[in-house]
Amino acid sequence: MDGHARRAVVAVSLIVLAAMTVPGTTEARSGRSHACIFDHSSLRTAPNTCRPRASSYPRYVRTSVERSIYDGSLTFGIPYRVLLAIAECESSLNPHADNGTHFGLYQFAPPTFRNGASQLSRDTGIQVHTYWNALDSSYVAGYLFATGQSGSWACEGPHAPTAGPAARGAVTG
C-alpha cells in the first residue's frame, strides 16, 4: 500500500472511531465535551484525561523521548520508525531544539503546532499544550500524518536528508 493510500485508510479509521464506539475501545472524558477514543487493548490513559500511552513498550524503545514517539505512532497508526526518523532528522531527538523559527522534537512552526493541536483536540479529545513536550509533539506529528497533513517536513520520505544539524528541515506554516 503506498503512502497516500495508507494515510487515507488511517484518516478514514479516525473518522469512524470518532463517529462511534467500537468493541475494544474506551472513552474517557478529557475535562471538555470531547470523547477520548483509543484502542484499549494496546493503549491506556489516566482517569479523566485524554493522553493515551502504550500499555507496554518494546525493548528497542528505551528513552522517554522514544516512548513519547512510540505513543504517538501507536495512537495514530503511523509506523514508529517513520516518526522516529523524522524526529532524529529534525532535532536529533531533542525536544528542546530551537532554530529560531521552529521548535521542539519535530521543529514545528508555532502556527502549525497550534492548528494541529486544535484539530487534534476537536477530532480526538487529546489535549496538548506545547511543542517543547515530546509527547505533545508526537501526538501532533502522528495526527498530522494520519490526516495527510505531513507534507511540510523536509525530513519526510525516501529522499530525506540525513540526520544532523545541517540537514534539519522544518514544518512550515
38-62: pLDDT as tens digits: 666 655 666 666 778 888 899 999 9
pTM of the model: 0.69
Check residues 60 and 19 and name the one with the higher pLDDT: 60
Query: What local confidence, expressed as pLDDT, does residue 14 receive?
Result: 47
Question: What Cα–Cα distance (Å) separates residue 49 from each residue in 16, 36, 124?
Answer: 21, 8, 12
Query: What local confidence, expressed as pLDDT, does residue 125 receive?
Result: 82
* Mean pLDDT, rounded, of the chain: 75
H or E stretch at 17: helix 3-19
The b-or-e profile of 94-109 (16+ CB within 10 A means b, else e) is ebebeeeebbbbbbbb
Check residues 122 and 8 and name the one with the higher pLDDT: 122
75-106: pLDDT as tens digits: 999 999 999 999 999 999 999 999 999 999 99
Question: Which three cell numbers mark 148?
Answer: 495527510
Nearest to 77 by CA among 156, 25, 144, 160: 144
| Separation CA 148–CA 36 (nearest Å) | 21
- Checking if the pLDDT of 74 tops 80, the result is yes
Q: Among all chains, which residue has been given the C-alpha cell 501507536?
A: 74
pLDDT band at 32 (very low <50, low <70, confident <90, very high): very low
Half-sphere exposure of 64 (CA within 13 A, CB side): 6
Give me the domains of the chain, ranges plus CATH numbers: 3-167 (1.10.530)
- Checking if the pLDDT of 20 tops 70, the result is no
